[in-house]
Amino acid sequence: MKLAGFLLLVTITFLSLEVQDLQAAVPPLKLLGACIEFCSSSLDCDPGERCVSNGCGHICAADLSTDEDLP
């Protein structure tokens, strides 16, 4: 019984760290909902940025993803 409780605690801790990592990879959107198309693809953005949706339009935002984020 103690082993099952310990494994449950380890699993919950691991999953919460994964969620925090995923939340950190999502860029903050300062123009949330602004229906303006600043870009149509990441080629329109500066190096290190990518074209992302802000809920209505598209903006260039810092690319926070790394190769480690890919499945």
Arithmetic mean of pLDDT, 48-62: 90
What is the helix, strand, coil percentage profile of the chain, to 5?
Answer: 40, 15, 40
CA distance 24 to 57: 22
Per-residue confidence (pLDDT) for residue 24, from 0 to 100:
54
Predicted structure pTM score: 0.46
pLDDT digits (tens, 9 = 90+) for 3-54: 766 666 656 665 555 545 555 556 665 555 568 899 999 999 999 999 998 8
What confidence score (pLDDT) does residue 22 get?
Answer: 55
Q: Are 12 and 6 in contact (CB under 8 A)?
A: no
pLDDT band at 56 (very low <50, low <70, confident <90, very high): confident
